[in-house]
């Protein structure tokens, strides 16, 4: 029982700490599950991963609760609120259209440690290249409220790259946004808002598909994972906005490259 709760806390921490930074939470969960000796394909672990993702996204809802309520309240009368809501909706659409038909195939064929390691390395190199390109240009879009519908669609298409485990949903959207002319802060905040519909929708569908696996005996395991995921995600979301206001994403790029190389070496040595 105690070991179970420790495993839940570790995986909750991994999820919350990595979901919203460009290092791939899915990739880290795959590796952490493997290191803990757990079966990632068991229905229990599939449902657990869904639930802790929902806990992490609740952290974003909590941090931006005032913004979300303000937009919702102004939707009937304010064109700016409607434009923001439309941008989030359309930015979420490509991943839903492309990802839903491929979800089962991706889980069956691409959720491997080697795939994650390679994606981490390639993604790290991509971040370095995008940062070099972005430094030579002045961002067109300063704040998340200034994002246009075409920009939202382009970021949404970039998000589709994260269907590959190890790429990182936040990494694809943030760096895609920076590449398309958004400031780092605007791209990061828009990535947070895009996470709400896409993660709630995807997780909700998976929960419905695996509802029979929920058991009262697993409540402590799930509760600890959710609590740790929520608290750690809450801290990361708040710290990340402060960080990107005056820093580049290069530290995350080098972390990805080093971590990916280490994971790949470990996986190939097994």
How do residues 183-214 score in pLDDT, each as one tens digit? 999 999 999 999 898 888 777 777 777 777 67
Is this structure's pTM higher than 0.95? no
Do 39 and 45 touch, CB atoms closer than 8 A? yes
CA–CA separation, 214 and 229 (whole Å): 19
Give the three-class secondary structure for 141.
Answer: strand
pLDDT for 199 equals 81
Which tens digits make up the pLDDT trace of 115-149? 889 999 999 999 999 999 988 888 999 999 999 99
Question: Residue range 221-246: average pLDDT?
Answer: 94
Of the candidates 18, 3, 29, the one whose C-alpha atom is nearest the C-alpha of residue 240 is 18
Q: Are 151 and 164 in contact (CB under 8 A)?
A: no
Report the first-to-last Cα separation within the chain, whole angstroms. Answer: 29
The span from the CA of 54 to the CA of 203, in Å, is 7
Structural domain of residue 125, as residue ranges?
2-269
Give helix 79-109 / helix 149-159 axis angle, nearest 10°. 10
Phi-psi region of 112 (alpha: psi -120 to 50; beta: other; left: phi over 0): beta
Nearest to 35 by CA among 266, 222, 268: 266
Residue found by looking up tokens 């941090």 in the block: 63
User: Of 29-38, 63-72, 234-243, 245-254, where does mean pLDDT reach its minimum?
Assistant: 29-38
Domain count, the chain: 1
Residue 180 phi/psi, 5-degree rounding, is -90, 5
- Spatial separation of the C-alpha atoms in residues 257 and 123, rounded to whole Å: 8
């Amino acid at each position: 029982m105690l070991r179970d709760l420790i495993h839940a806390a570790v995986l909750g921490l991994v999820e919350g700490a990595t979901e919203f930074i460009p290092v791939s939470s899915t990739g880290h969960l795959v590796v952490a599950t493997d290191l803990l000796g757990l079966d990632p394909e068991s229905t229990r672990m599939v449902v657990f991963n869904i639930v802790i993702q929902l806990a992490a996204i609740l952290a974003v809802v909590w941090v931006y609760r005032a913004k979300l309520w303000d937009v919702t309240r102004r939707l009937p009368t304010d064109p700016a609120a409607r434009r923001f809501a439309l941008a989030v909706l359309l930015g979420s659409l490509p991943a839903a259209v492309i990802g839903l038909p491929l979800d089962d195939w991706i889980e069956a064929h691409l959720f491997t440690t080697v795939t994650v390691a390679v994606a981490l390395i390639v993604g790290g190199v991509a971040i370095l290249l995008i940062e070099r390109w972005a430094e030579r240009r002045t961002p067109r879009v300063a704040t998340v409220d200034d994002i246009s519908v075409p920009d939202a669609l382009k970021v949404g298409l970039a998000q589709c790259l994260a269907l590959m485990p190890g790429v990182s949903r936040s990494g694809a959207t943030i760096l895609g946004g920076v590449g398309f002319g958004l400031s780092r802060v605007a791209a990061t905040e828009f990535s947070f808002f895009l996470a709400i519909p896409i993660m709630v929708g995807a997780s909700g569908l998976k929960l419905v598909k695996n509802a029979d696996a929920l058991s009262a005996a697993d409540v402590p395991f799930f509760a600890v994972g959710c609590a740790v995921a929520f608290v750690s995600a809450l801290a990361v979301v708040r710290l990340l906005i402060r960080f990107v206001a005056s820093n580049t994403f290069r530290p995350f790029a080098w972390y990805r490259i080093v971590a990916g190389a280490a994971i790949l070496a470990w996986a190939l040595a097994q």
